[in-house]
Amino acid sequence: MITSGYSKIAFDEGARILVVDDDPVVLDLLQGFVSSFGHECVRAADGLAALEAMANQPFDIVITDMVMPGMDGMELLREIRTRYPETDVIVVTGHPATFSFTDVIRAGAVDFIVKPFLKDELEAKINRVLRERFIIRQLEQLSMRDPLTNLENRRAFDIRIRDEVVRAHRQKYPLFLAMIDVDRFKSFNDTLGHPAGDRLLQEVADIMSTCVRRKVDLVFRYGGDEFAIIFPHIDREQAEAVGRRLLRCFGERPRDERDQTGLSIGIAQFVRREGRSLDEDIEDCISRADKALYAAKQGGRDQLRMDPVC
Catalytic positions, written as ranges: 225
Measured distance CA(200)–CA(261) in Å, rounded: 9
Q: How far is CA 153 from CA 1, 107, 216, 240, in A?
A: 20, 34, 17, 23
Cα gap 267→60, rounded to integer Å? 38
Q: Roughly how many angstroms between the first and final C-alpha of the chain, as a whole number?
A: 31
**Separation of CA 226 from chain center:** 21
Torsional class of 153: left (φ above 0), alpha (ψ -120 to 50), beta (otherwise): beta
Residue of 270, 225, 262 whose CA lies nearest to 246: 262
Closest to 310 measured CA to CA, from 279, 275, 267, 277 = 267
Q: Which of 15, 10, 11, 4 is nearest to 123 (CA)?
A: 15
Which stretch of DSSP H or E encloses residue 42?
Answer: strand 40-44
Question: Judging by beta carbons within 10 Å of its beta carbon (0-12, 13-18, 19+), is residue 245 exposed, middle or buried?
Answer: middle
